[in-house]
């Protein structure tokens, strides 16, 4: 049965890292006879430059039909002065909301070879394996009303709305409880229930769900404490579930525990397990075009695609093993470089993964 993968390289380092991940996908396709077909489309700033909008109808149509999507990154300073509604980031947010990709899985795993690349002491991070489950289509990112308005005083006021319905909380809660069941059976729900009513409801719904998952130990933590605990003692966590904005912030923080943001993949799934896969990092305008970005988060996102949307666990395992092998060989892009290792370019890293496969 043929399945289709849509490639959305996007902006900045996006095309550089997706090019390497694409080679890996082709190789895996042949090696495991997966019968995958490929297409590509414009999103973000690249789409704005060609079509004036960050998410052209054609891209959305292709995305709806694809079994899985691989996205590089969107955004960059040249589009930062555009109105909010037509910025590159709206292309990404539009894909997430139109495809109802509400469940964002961001695994922070420390490859033992990179213990010294982390900014934390090796004993604090060695063996780290946590999963952040971030709600992706609700919360303050999408709440209405929003905007900038003129007050009677003449002053302008910016405002956003932080809202979650019970059903939105329940469906992301179930994903997180089920993930915890498959792992260490510990779930920490992160909120700000001491200040925000929306997260009082969040906590209530999580408590309610707990009854359906008696084998999972549920705890709650305020987000400020969670940010601190993640650098103090990150291994206390197994699965973390949280809302859209807290999850955005905590996952970048967790990335650094693994050595670099260039190592953190992600899956964004809807209830049919259709998924969009992307590295957690952005378009890195500061290093774009130099051929030095780390492609491993994107290559590891391909492994997540094979596992979650295409049900090809053996192929996913092979990619993860190949990544581990190149790290064993001492190959490092600049972001994970340490003494005694060999510094390589984006392309050399991609080639090394291909060879290891």
Ligand X SMILES: CC(C)[C@H](C(=O)O)[C@@H](O)C(=O)O
* Nearer to ligand X (CB atom), residue 247 or residue 356: 247
* Nearer to ligand X (CB atom), residue 129 or residue 253: 253
For residue 335, state whether it binds Mg ion (rule: CB under 5 A).
Answer: no
Number of residues engaging ligand X in binding (CB under 6 A): 7
Q: How many CB atoms lie within 10 A of CB 65?
A: 11
C-alpha–C-alpha distance, residues 90 and 85, integer Å: 6
Q: 94 and 60 in contact (C-beta within 8 Å)?
A: yes
For residue 280, state whether it binds ligand X (rule: CB under 6 A).
Answer: yes
Using the rule CB under 6 A, which residue among 284, 300, 303, 322 binds ligand NAD?
Answer: 284
- Name residues contacting ligand X, limited to 56-75 (CB under 6 A): 75
Q: Is 96 annotated as a binding residue?
A: yes
Using the rule CB under 5 A, which residue among 168, 191, 248, 312 binds Mg ion?
Answer: 248
Task: Give Dmax over CA atoms of the chain in angstroms.
Answer: 67
Using the rule CB under 6 A, which residue among 278, 304, 322, 352 binds ligand NAD?
Answer: 278
Which stretch, 12-20, 87-95, 212-220, 257-265, contacts ligand X (CB under 6 A)? 87-95
In whole angstroms, the minimum distance from the beta carbon of 295 to ligand X comes to 17
Q: 251 and 280 in contact (C-beta within 8 Å)?
A: yes
Q: What's the CA dihedral at 316, 320, 322, 326 to 10 degrees?
A: 160
SS3 295: coil
Closest residue by Cα to residue 8 from 91, 121, 107, 104: 91
Q: 206 and 173 in contact (C-beta within 8 Å)?
A: yes
For residue 89, state whether it binds ligand X (rule: CB under 6 A).
Answer: yes
DSSP state, 264? Answer: -
For residue 16, state whether it binds ligand X (rule: CB under 6 A).
Answer: no
In whole angstroms, the minimum distance from the beta carbon of 195 to ligand NAD comes to 26
Using the rule CB under 6 A, which residue among 35, 215, 286, 339 binds ligand NAD?
Answer: 286
For residue 278, state whether it binds Mg ion (rule: CB under 5 A).
Answer: no
158: exposed, middle or buried (Cβ count in 10 Å: 0-12, 13-18, 19+)? exposed
C-alpha–C-alpha distance, residues 212 and 325, integer Å: 40
Q: Is 12 annotated as a binding residue?
A: no
Q: Count CA within 13 A, CB hemisphere, residue 250.
A: 36
Q: How many residues does the chain have?
A: 357
DSSP state, 85? Answer: G
For residue 135, state whether it binds ligand X (rule: CB under 6 A).
Answer: no
For residue 93, state whether it binds ligand X (rule: CB under 6 A).
Answer: yes
Q: Please give the positions annotated as active site.
A: 141, 192, 224, 248, 252
Structure tokens at 117: 């690349």
In whole angstroms, the minimum distance from the beta carbon of 74 to ligand X comes to 6
If residue 131 lies in a helix (H) or strand (E), which one and from where to where?
strand 129-135
Using the rule CB under 6 A, which residue among 92, 198, 319, 327 binds ligand X?
Answer: 92
Q: Is 293 annotated as a binding residue?
A: yes
Structure tokens at 91: 């292309």
- Name residues contacting ligand X, limited to 243-272 (CB under 6 A): 248
Using the rule CB under 6 A, which residue among 18, 73, 241, 250 binds ligand NAD?
Answer: 73
Would you list which residues are annotated within the binding site for NAD(+)?
76-89, 282-294
Would you list which residues are annotated within the binding site?
76-89, 96, 106, 134, 224, 248, 252, 282-294
Would you list which residues are annotated within the binding site for Mg(2+)?
224, 248, 252
């Amino acid at each position: 049965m043929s399945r289709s993968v849509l490639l959305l390289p996007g902006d900045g380092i996006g095309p550089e890292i997706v090019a390497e991940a694409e080679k890996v996908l082709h190789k895996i396709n042949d090696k495991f006879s997966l019968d995958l077909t490929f297409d590509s489309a414009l999103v973000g700033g690249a789409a704005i430059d060609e079509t004036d909008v960050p998410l052209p109808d054609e891209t959305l149509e292709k995305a709806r039909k694809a079994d899985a999507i691989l996205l590089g990154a969107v955004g960059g300073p040249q589009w930062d002065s555009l109105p909010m509604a037509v910025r590159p980031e709206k292309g990404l947010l539009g894909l997430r909301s139109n495809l109802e990709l509400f469940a964002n899985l961001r695994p922070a795993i420390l490859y033992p070879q990179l213990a010294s690349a982390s900014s934390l002491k090796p004993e604090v991070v060695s063996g780290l394996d946590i999963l952040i489950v971030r709600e992706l289509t609700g919360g303050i990112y999408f709440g209405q009303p929003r905007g900038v308005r003129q007050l009677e005083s003449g002053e302008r006021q910016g405002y956003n709305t932080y809202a979650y319905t019970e059903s939105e909380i329940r469906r992301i809660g179930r994903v997180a409880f089920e993930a915890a069941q498959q792992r260490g059976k510990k779930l920490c729900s992160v909120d700000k229930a001491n200040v925000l009513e929306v997260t009082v409801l969040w906590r209530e719904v999580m408590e309610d769900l707990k009854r359906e998952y008696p084998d999972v130990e549920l705890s709650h933590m305020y987000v400020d404490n969670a940010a601190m605990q993640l650098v103090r003692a990150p291994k206390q966590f197994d699965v973390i579930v949280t809302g859209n904005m807290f999850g955005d912030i905590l996952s970048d923080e967790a990335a650094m525990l693994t050595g670099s943001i260039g190592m953190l993949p992600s899956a964004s799934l809807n209830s049919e397990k259709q998924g969009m896969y992307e590295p957690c990092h952005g378009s890195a305008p500061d290093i774009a075009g130099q051929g030095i970005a780390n492609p491993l988060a994107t290559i590891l996102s391909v492994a997540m695609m094979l596992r979650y949307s295409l049900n090809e666990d053996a192929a996913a395992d092979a990619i993860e093993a190949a990544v581990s092998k190149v790290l064993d060989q001492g190959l490092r892009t600049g972001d994970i470089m340490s003494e005694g290792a060999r510094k390589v370019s984006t392309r050399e890293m991609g080639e090394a993964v291909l060879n290891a496969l």
